[in-house]
Amino acid sequence: MTNTIVCNTTCFEEHRKRNLVCHKEVCRNWMCSPENLNCAILGVQSKETRTLQEIGDIFGVTRMRICQIEKKVLSKLKDVIEDT
């Protein structure tokens, strides 16, 4: 396969358009989730709801850890909203 530079686009947009699974594990948006083309951004953009267990399975952590992260993020968002 030949690497091609595509201007005015993003990696994940090109993967979505071509329905190609990303293999660039060093990417900060990479996650082991072939149904989301291994891209966290595409996973977030999908309209599917997921359980804490499903999210934990994707990232290799427990559902309780995902719950802790969720609570911390919601607390930070609340602080930001209150400060504005």
- 22-80 pLDDT, tens digit per residue, is 888 888 888 888 888 888 888 888 878 889 998 888 888 999 999 999 999 999 999 99
* Full domain range(s) for residue 72: 49-84
Q: Inform me whether the pLDDT recorded for 2 exceeds 60.
A: no
Domain count, the chain: 2
Same domain as 55, residue 84: yes
Q: Which residues of 39-77 are buried (b: 16+ CB within 10 A; e: fewer)?
A: bbbbbeeeeeeeebeebbbbeeeeeeebeeeeeeeeeee
* 21 within some domain: yes
Contact 6, 14 (CB under 8 A): yes
